[in-house]
Amino acid sequence: MPSLPERKVGIVACSGEELAVGTVTRLAALRVLHDLRPGRTVTICLPLFLAGGEGDRAFARFHPTITVDGCALRCAARGTARYSGAPAASIVVDELVAGQGLPRPDGRRSLDEAGRQAVDLTATRLAAMVDEVLGAECAESCEREAAP
């Protein structure tokens, strides 16, 4: 039986340098990549969609992506959709934190306690989304294989 390349999810964090919630997106993406879902995820630099080659731009057309944005501008989600392909799922840290009634993170260079809580929350939600996306893909491919 031939071995198929393992499917991975691309995580695109806005990394917004101006805001603490941007730092949260970056650290949450790294937590998922290194600790929570190693081997099932890759990170993608958002600017590469513009500054990189066609291969970078084509990524989200062929691989599922999850975008992680800090604020309502949603640079990662909108940038990914505009230059590569629609993300399979997306998170906005500001909304996630507010929805949980947590204080707004502070300290873009060095996160405060609220920021560290936001990283935990965002990373956990991201990992669940990775499972959902890969699970859905698995289910779709199983259906295709089962079809007569």
Partner 1 sequence: MTNREQRVAIVPCSGIGKPFGTVSREAAYEVCEVLRPDRTDLVALSKLVLGERDACRRVATQPAVTIDGCMLKCAATLVRLHEGTIVNEVAVLDVYRRHKDLKPEGIAELNEAGCELARVVAREIAEVVDHVPRSEDLTGADHA
Q: Could you list the residues that contact partner 1 (CB under 8 A)?
A: 13-19, 22, 26-27, 29-31, 34, 43, 45-52, 73, 75-76, 78-79, 82-83, 108-109
Q: Which is nearer to partner 1, 77 or 136 (CB)?
A: 77
The b-or-e profile of 7-41 (16+ CB within 10 A means b, else e) is: eebbbbbbbbeebbbbbbbbbbbebbbeebbeebb
What's the min distance (Å) between Cβ of 99 and partner 1?
22
What's the min distance (Å) between Cβ of 144 and partner 1?
33
Q: Which is nearer to partner 1, 61 or 82 (CB)?
A: 82
What is the CA 124 to chain-centroid distance, rounded? 12
What's the min distance (Å) between Cβ of 94 and partner 1?
14
CA atoms of 2 and 117, how far apart (whole Å) = 44
Q: Which is nearer to partner 1, 42 or 138 (CB)?
A: 42
Q: Which is nearer to partner 1, 73 or 140 (CB)?
A: 73
